Chain A
């Protein structure tokens, strides 16, 4: 049977026009104040247009008309079957203090793995430098391989923070942006089935392990702790949290122990990934400020004991925050 196109168009075109008008309206105002009757009217127009599409698909070979109707149906479908809004994670303060630590705790195993990989890297870096001290140049970044720790300590004590005080703002900003980029990159590498994230965690561990051993062997443990702890007690956990998020992403991609399709597994972890990424960024902003405005000042300007105490207290507070934050708010 061939469609009587003229009659079909006479009856159908008003429906399409009305639906198109509704869609234009909805695309400008996705949350209109429509009552039930008005909403039902929109739904009826969608159903009628769907039926017209079925008729056209089976009764004519006309592609333009089919394309037009498919477009109307697709636009209506996106409005009618829109998923419910994502669960609110509160205002920004509640989001950071409650939703962020709750998300971290939900993926505790990935967190343990992230810390473990980092520690293995630390051990490897320390052992590698111990076995082959000539590898120092290759293992240590930022010119640390060009001088001994004692030489650096001497320079810092002579400088008394004068050099950094002229560019604290710029240095702080560079630290924030660079570390945040590294953290997001570590998270994103979870899409390599977690392998890239594992490499990043291990590599960062190697650097810290090698630096630590270098300073310890040279008798500069106190300087090292005074230098690293104030900002590192936040910065390193932040990178580990980014690694944790990357491992969560990798796990969702691989799907061990989860029979859901890949896209549903990924969809399930997305809100937590975003929350963790946001939390990590906030931590790294704080770490950037501390590193530039506090960590880079050494004795005699700031006593090492004070810096170490600050770092230890901060690490304890962060641990407590991640362990207990939002524990009473089950809805997060």
Chain B
């Protein structure tokens, strides 16, 4: 199914000239994180009420006053404190794997954390974060008003692990390697784009539907066969996918 919302990227460049990108958090994880945080603030507010009920035994007025002030401090201070201590994350953001960062990809200063949280009431206008949500959807980097003022963005923090290439390339017996001169010719004739697509296809084979996978490997095998013709005994009985796998091993492993 095609995604309804494509998460945009924040493109950055280091002073050494290296470009990299950070995946911006989409509206759904941000909304879910907000709900988690709201629930935590509400639970904390409930706890404050319970504690103040004890104080109320001595002075009901003082207890009500303290409860009002403490709830206000908790609701305002929760986001500020969490984002300060956890480098841009609240409990909700941690759970949803997102983080607030400076727009330049750097950690935030305290003033940025305070301002983006102080401006929350403006984002909440007129209700249910409608203004903030609309501004975030319209903004290039998904920034609500508080983010625009504080120059911050919300990014995904999902840890990416490198694919297990050794396992991928450690194929079984490769009959095509029995013909080193043809293997060398294949390396010489293949374009980097075709090699890359073949490699990608193998990495993603489990994500493809059966019909699409068969069609893709038939197409790739056809193109690779067109570059170099291996003897019949070397490719006899090889499926299209195994043919592509053998070719990729030739292309991407040490000679």
Instruction: Known contacts A5-B252, A63-B200, A86-B109; decide if A273 and B72 are in contact (CB<8 Å).
Output: no
CA–CA, A116 and B66, complex, Å: 36
**Is the C-beta of A195 less than 8 angstroms from some C-beta in chain B?**
no
Per-residue interface assignment for chain A, residues 6 to 47, with 1 indicating a CB less than 8 Å from any chain B CB and 0 otherwise:
110100010010000000000100100000000000000001
Q: Which of B14-22, B39-47, B211-219, B235-243 lies on the face that meets chain A? A: B14-22
- Chain A residues lying within 8 Å of B81, measured Cβ to Cβ, are none
Contact A53 B111 (CB under 8 A): no
Identify A86's interface contact among B14, B110, B165, CB under 8 A.
Answer: B110
CA–CA, A173 and B254, complex, Å: 73
Identify A74's interface contact among B16, B22, B68, CB under 8 A.
Answer: B22
Contact A191 B151 (CB under 8 A): no
Instruction: Known contacts A81-B14, A82-B107; decide if A6 and B253 are in contact (CB<8 Å).
Output: yes
Identify A67's interface contact among B12, B160, B166, CB under 8 A.
Answer: B160
Closest to A13 in B: B162
Contact B115 A4 (CB under 8 A): no
**Is the C-beta of A152 less than 8 angstroms from some C-beta in chain B?**
no
Contact B151 A177 (CB under 8 A): no
Contact B121 A53 (CB under 8 A): no
B52, chain A: closest CB distance, angstroms: 11
Contact B149 A6 (CB under 8 A): no
Which residue, of A50, A77, A249, has the highest number of chain B Cβ atoms within 10 A?
A77
**Is the C-beta of A62 less than 8 angstroms from some C-beta in chain B?**
yes
Instruction: Known contacts A5-B165, A68-B162; decide if A83 and B106 are in contact (CB<8 Å).
Output: yes
B205, chain A: closest CB distance, angstroms: 13
A side interface size, CB within 8 A: 68
Q: Which of B175-183, B186-194, B226-234 lies on the face that meets chain A? A: B186-194
CA–CA, A7 and B166, complex, Å: 11
**Is the C-beta of B161 less than 8 angstroms from some C-beta in chain A?**
yes
Identify A274's interface contact among B16, B20, B115, CB under 8 A.
Answer: B115
CA–CA, A206 and B44, complex, Å: 38
- Chain A residues lying within 8 Å of B15, measured Cβ to Cβ, are 81
Identify B16's interface contact among A6, A47, A62, A169, CB under 8 A.
Answer: A47
Contact A189 B122 (CB under 8 A): yes
- Chain B residues lying within 8 Å of A2, measured Cβ to Cβ, are 187, 190, 192, 195, 251-252
A-B interface pairs (CB < 8 A), number: 177
Per-residue interface assignment for chain B, residues 130 to 163, with 1 indicating a CB less than 8 Å from any chain A CB and 0 otherwise:
0000000000000001101111000000011111
Identify B20's interface contact among A13, A53, A60, A86, CB under 8 A.
Answer: A53
**Is the C-beta of B34 less than 8 angstroms from some C-beta in chain A?**
no
Contact B169 A170 (CB under 8 A): no
CA–CA, A180 and B59, complex, Å: 25
CA–CA, A177 and B121, complex, Å: 14
74-111 of chain B: CB within 8 A of chain A? 87, 101-103, 105-107, 109-111
- Chain B residues lying within 8 Å of A9, measured Cβ to Cβ, are 165-166
Per-residue interface assignment for chain A, residues 58 to 80, with 1 indicating a CB less than 8 Å from any chain B CB and 0 otherwise:
01111111011011011001100
**Is the C-beta of B32 less than 8 angstroms from some C-beta in chain A?**
no
- Chain B residues lying within 8 Å of A253, measured Cβ to Cβ, are 149
- Chain A residues lying within 8 Å of B109, measured Cβ to Cβ, are 83, 85-86, 270
Pick 26 A–B contacts, CB within 8 A, sort by A: A4-B254, A5-B165, A6-B166, A6-B252, A16-B162, A50-B16, A60-B195, A61-B196, A62-B196, A68-B162, A73-B14, A74-B20, A74-B105, A78-B105, A81-B106, A83-B102, A167-B61, A169-B64, A180-B72, A196-B122, A249-B149, A266-B149, A270-B109, A270-B149, A273-B115, A277-B118
Known pairs A6-B169, A274-B115; list 14 more (Cβ under 8 Å).
A2-B251, A2-B252, A5-B165, A9-B166, A13-B162, A47-B16, A60-B196, A82-B107, A169-B59, A176-B72, A191-B149, A192-B122, A273-B115, A277-B118
